[in-house]
Each structure stands twice: as C-alpha cells, then as structure tokens.
Structure 1
Amino acid sequence: MTIDGKTRLAGVIGWPVEHSRSPLLHNHWCRVHQVNGAYVPLPVAPGQLETALRGLAAAGFRGVNVTIPHKEEAFRLCDELTETARRAGAANTLRFEKGRIIGDCTDGTGFCDNLSAHDVRLEGRALVLGAGGAARAVAAALQDRGCEVFIANRTTARAEALVQALGAGTVLDWADWPSRLGEMSLLVNATSLGMGGREDMDWATLLQAGQAGLSVADIVYTPRQTPLLKAAQKHGFRTVDGLGMLICQARAGFQGWFGVLPEADEASFALLAQDLA
C-alpha cells in the first residue's frame, strides 16, 4: 500500500481501541478493491471526542467508526443524522463532508444481517442485555423486524430510558432476567461482558432456564468464543459470535469513505478468524 497526497483516510475511534479488528478488515478491502485508502486506529480518551472529530475532519479524513465508550456522545455531536441513527439514538459510522459530521448507525442492520446469515429466525421475543449505544441499535433493528424486545441492564434507569426512546419494549430487572429466559427465542449480549475472555458472569447457571430452540448471540468478538457462547453451547443452544456483525456493519462505512461496497465474503471472515485464533 502506497500512502500519498491522494490517499483517502478513515479510522476507528475508541478507548481502548487496540482490540479493534476494523483496521485489518478495511485495509484488506482497500487492497482487494485497489482503493488508495488507509484506515487507522485512533485512541481517544473520554472527554476528547469532539476535539478529535473536528480535528480529523479538518485534517482531511473521510470519516471514522466510533466504538466503546463514544457512540452516544458521537450521536450528540453530529451535525446531521440518518433516520437509522435517530431511531437507534447512537452513531457508530461518521462521514465528514465540508466540515460537517454526518452520523449513521450500522450496528443494528449488521447484527440482524449476521443472524440471518446464520439461519436465526428474527421473530418472537428477544432479550437484549445492555442499554448502551450498541444495545440501542440492536434493539431498534430487532423491533423493526417484528421481534418483541425485552431490555435488562445493571442500571435499570438506563434500560427504562432506552425503552422510552424506542417507544416500545419491556424492562426486566437485572436480577430477574435469568428466570424469564424460558420465554425468549433470542438472547443478545450487547455489553462488553466477556471481552478479552473475562469471566464476568456465571453464564452456565444464568442460562439454565433457557428452552430448546433458544439462540444466543454476542456482539463481543474478542474472543470469538466468549464465556457466554461457550456456556450456551454446553446447554445445546444455537450460538452466533460477533465477528459477522463486525463485517456486516462495516460495509456501509467503507462505501461512504472509499466509494466501493465490499462483500461480507469468506475471505474477509477467514482473515479476521485467523487473526483472532
């Protein structure tokens, strides 16, 4: 890859950001599609997001992805929002145009596209753990596809605020959600629990009330087989890891920055899977 004065620049902002595989994926797509572009990790501490975004826009970046913990603040800082971002109340994909920040949210669509690719039927009741930016996007997308959504978060007020913002849904107390799991067809971890393989929860016990036919999805992809997914497999539940969501949600951003819509193909999966192995 040659970097020159015509190279299109994009990146991913987070704190921390070293876990992100987005640079590997986007730079792979740049090579495959012969795009003169580069995508870089950008560690930005809390409280510094607005300064970073305005500076990157002024420096000629085409845009950025935004990950934990900046998604909701990014939403507030956007000069313009897509309808999808408004619905989710969060922005994970930003484009810079003439000094303006245009925000989109591709997490929900990417999540649901990944489930469909794994033959998970989007119907019935879905329990989403978490109430942050990714949870908002996932819950909105599931509702738009006809699921009845339940939200459980350690801070109940945040779950209540999410349901109010979505205009539908049911809040479950964090301590009560395991006992309601038997009513669900889908369980989604939309928190950072399990990131890096941390044993945050006794998932094997928490999943005991799940019934045959339950699907369990985790948005965490480092590692691919999170403690939640390992426990779910032992219970015999269908599992979907977060790698496909990462790839599916990235496609629209790449198109906006680099002008090409890449495929979520086997080569992309293989590249990231090998890196995560």
Structure 2
Amino acid sequence: MIFLSILLFQIPFLLTQQGVGIELRLDLMERFTLEEVAHFLSETDLPILLTLRKASQGGGFQEGEEKQEEWIERLLSLEPEFFDLEWDMRESFIQEMISRYPKTKFILSFHDFEKVPSDAELELIYQKMRSFEAFTYKIAVKVTSTNEALKMLLFAKKHPNVSMIPMGESGQFARILGKVVGNVVAYAGGKTAPGQFTLEEMIDVYHYPLLNQNTKIYGLIGDPVEKSPGHFYHNGVFQKKGIDAVYVKMRVRPEELDEFIHLSQELGISGLSVTIPLKEKILPYIDWFDEGTQEIGAINTLRMEGGKIFGTNTDGKGALDAIEKKMGMRGKKVILLGAGGAARGIACEAKARGAEVFVLNRTVERAKELAEEIGCFFGSLEEIPAVYDCLINCTSELLPIDPAKIVEGSIAMDVVYFPKLTSFLKTAMDKQCQLVYGEEMFLNQAMRQTSFWFF
C-alpha cells in the first residue's frame, strides 16, 4: 500500500491506482474540524490514513499529549480505515484505542530524525511495538549513507510485519526496495518527509505496485549517480519484457565499497551497473571476468549469483558501436581525452577493432600507465596530433582542450550524456564535426548490460 501524503482536504485528480491510498496529515494543517474530516472520509472510496503526529516524532501537533489523545479519540470515532499511532504514547491508551476500534487498521510508528539506532535499540523498539496488535510496525529513521539504508532493509527482511522507511536522500532508493523485503506500507508525496518520491515516480518509473518479495534487485553504484538515466532505461526494459525486477540508484563512495559488497550479497542483489569512481576499485571483488574484461582493468557491470560476482565492461563496446554507425575503426586514428574507467574500456575496444589509439590526460603518468597496459600512444592534453579521425572526451570537464585543436570534419564524441549537447560537442559542431552523443553510448552499453544479466 502506497499512501500519498496530502495537507489539504482535496483528493488528487484521477487518483484511481489500485493499492494507493491517502495519508491526511492533520498535524501539518493550520486548522481542521472534525466535521471537515468526516466529510472528507465520506467523499471518497479510497483508503484513508489519518495522522496526527506530535513534534517529538517529527509531526506538527504541539498542543500536548492530553489534547492529542482527545483528538485521536474523536477522529477514531469516525472509523477511518487506517490510523497512525506513535509508539511512545501511553501504552494503556494505545491498547484501548486498538481494542475499541477494531474496524480501523493501526500503523504503529517510530521516528528518529537524527540517526540510525543501534541493532540492539532497534530490536527493543520492534519488540515493544510487537506487544500491540497492529496492521504494521513503521520504523522511520534518518540514514546518511547507502550502507545504513541497506542495513535497515535487512532488518525489515528479518522481522515480520515491519515497514522500514530510511529517511533522507541517501535512503531514497530503499523506499522502493522496501516492498521487496516485505514492507507493508510506503509513502509518496515529496513534501512531508525527506527523500520521498512522487507518486508518479513510484508507479510510472519503478512500477511499485507490481514489486514483491520475489522481485530481483538491480542498481547503479558510484558517486555521483543523480543524473544517470539508468533507472528510466532498465525499469522500462524490465516492464516491456515482463521481467520481475527493479533498478535503483545508490551512491557508494570508495571507502564504503567493501561493506556495500557484503551487504548487497546478504540482501540478495542480482546485478549492478558501476560508474565513477568505482570502475577500477571494484576489481578485487570479481570472481570471474568476461572475455577481454580483465585486460581492460575496469568494470561497469556485475552479475551476482551463487555467492560469486561476475564482471564485464560494456562501455567500450557501447561507445564503438555508436561511432561505427558513422565510421569503421580499422586503420583510423582515435584520440581519447582522459584515462579513467570509461577511457580504459573505449581504448581497449578501439584497439581491438583496429584503430590507432592515443590516450591523452592532464596527469600524463595515468595516460602512460594505460597506454603501456594496452599498447598504444600517450601524452598530455596539449599534445593532440594535428590530424586524426575521431576525438572522444572521456573526462568530466566541459571543454578539456583548446578548441583550435578540434579537427574540422572529424568525428567527436562525449561520454557525458547530460546535457545531450555538451560544451565539447557544441564546439565540435561549430567545426562541422560529425557528433556522437553520450546517450548513444549509454543506450548501447545499457542494452549489453541487460544481456549480461539475463540472456
């Protein structure tokens, strides 16, 4: 059940999706009357959750516990389908309300907006909540990393009837995966809690109502991940092909990688896309490399099965497939700007397809290292040959070279896919270059990732 949190007595237009209800945040309204609530309940057949949360649990009700209890009793007399009760209210009051209003499904909730409680503290909170018969036990805590959010998902997976809600941007992906680990409820809206998705995102992008405890988990790891369109592409493919899977984006820093790998295996993640700065750092965790991948020295795709991690790199093939729609590689001179993970994959693939490859980088030592590994030329960003056929920007810089060095009429490609027309490509367009957009490479490599995971 997804609850769309609202602050007005208005049903959102055309809200008819099965498995979606309304959370009416009475505590965040400037004022309300019992009559207004009663009228609202009578006007819709949608499931309605009433919430009157006090300030100490992240709500807006500030009239004291006695007044809060009075209002809750009055609201429950309307027999709403769902009601949120805070776990730290008087135990006798909680029990009395649950006993007196059997038609209402109670969500017993705990919130911590500062930290993630320890495992022992979470267990105590859960056991106390379990002493009451409720529809679900909601535990919402502030997380500051992907790994903290994964631990919350694992807690939910191991504890029946828990709805674990990691709050904050770092936990946003886990609001989707909650359904896969058994969460009973989720929340949408974007205005009432940090990290919430909109209802449209949850349904149209992630197909949340279709997720279940057999759904396979895939995702993107790296830092940053915000601008990646991977969740649109992969979830769209899963939906089109009838694959019971979901794809989310998770920010993982290099120092978090070791713990992440162990947590992801425990959770049962099936596959991952890998972006900067992890493409090279992931190598020690790989048990099996696809043909030619180990030589590249960078990985952008993982398949996890049977306790093993299988790795491949689809960057190079994705980029070269896009370029070869305009020009074959054999015998052509290709200039790569940058020497990171993407450059490694493209350089190896270009060489394998018969190109003469030059790797140029601001830090020449990195270019030299890569060039010696794969057997090509290297230099600084100032050492661009006067004549070449293809120039590929593998850096994150807007325009890493002197525009005068861009050869008129050559092919120019940028691995950056947002914006589509980068500063580098705009400059190349002014030189009448043939453009290859980063999104072309992205779509090609993403298609190959899908094949590596499933076919």
TM interval, shorter chain, is 0.7 to 0.9
Q: Structure 2: how far apart are the matches of 1:251 and 1:31? A: 14
Give, in angstroms, the shift of residue 8 of structure 1: 1.0
Q: Deviations over 1:14-71 (max 9, x none)?
A: 1111111111100010111111110000111221112212211221111100001110
Q: What percent of counterpart residues are identical?
A: 32
Q: Deviations over 1:170-189 (max 9, x none)?
A: 11222222xx2x32100001
Identify the match of residue 409 of structure 2 among 192, 210, 213.
213
Give, in angstroms, the shift of residue 153 of structure 1: 0.6
Q: Structure 1: how far apart are the matches of 2:301 and 2:405? A: 37
Identify the match of residue 191 of structure 1 among 392, 395, 411.
395
Q: Does 1:244 align with 2:440?
A: yes
Q: Deviations over 1:211-243 (max 9, x none)?
A: 443110110001110000000000111111110
Comparing 208-217 and 134-143, the one that deviates more: 208-217
Q: Structure 1: how far apart are the matches of 2:213 and 2:405? A: 58
Give, in angstroms, the shift of residue 102 of structure 1: 1.1
Q: Over alpha carbons, which structure has the higher Rg?
A: 2
Question: Unpaired segments of 5 or more residues in structure 2?
Answer: 1-206
Q: Give the TM-score of the pair, scaled to structure 2.
A: 0.52
Identify the match of residue 383 of structure 2 among 163, 176, 180.
176
Q: Does 1:76 align with 2:284?
A: yes
Structure 2 SS opposite 1:58: helix
Q: Structure 2: how far apart are the matches of 1:19 and 1:192? A: 13
Which protein, 1 or 2, shows the higher relative CO under an 8 Å CA cutoff with sep ≥ 6?
Answer: 1
- The question of whether the paired residues in 2 share the 8 Å contact of 1:184 and 1:210 is answered with no
Q: Structure 1: how far apart are the matches of 2:415 and 2:260? A: 26
* Equivalent residue, structure 1, for 2:426: 230
Structure 2 SS opposite 1:95: strand
Question: Unpaired segments of 5 or more residues in structure 1?
Answer: 195-199, 261-277
Give, in angstroms, the shift of residue 76 of structure 1: 2.7
Partner AA of 1:185 in structure 2: D
Identify the match of residue 449 of structure 2 among 249, 253, 264.
253
Give, in angstroms, the shift of residue 114 of structure 1: 1.2
- The question of whether the paired residues in 2 share the 8 Å contact of 1:152 and 1:171 is answered with yes
Identify the match of residue 372 of structure 2 among 153, 164, 167.
164
- The question of whether the paired residues in 2 share the 8 Å contact of 1:57 and 1:63 is answered with no
Q: Structure 1: how far apart are the matches of 2:448 and 2:440? A: 14
Segments of 4+ moved more than 3 angstroms: 209-213
- The question of whether the paired residues in 2 share the 8 Å contact of 1:58 and 1:99 is answered with no
* Equivalent residue, structure 2, for 1:122: 329
Partner AA of 2:272 in structure 1: V
Please report the RMSD computed on the Cα atoms of aligned residues, expressed in angstroms.
1.5
Structure 1 SS opposite 2:311: strand
Identify the match of residue 255 of structure 2 among 31, 35, 47.
47
Identify the match of residue 273 of structure 2 among 65, 70, 73.
65
* Equivalent residue, structure 2, for 1:5: 213
Structure 2 SS opposite 1:192: coil
Partner AA of 2:313 in structure 1: C
Q: Give the TM-score of the pair, scaled to structure 1.
A: 0.85
Q: Does 1:104 align with 2:312?
A: yes
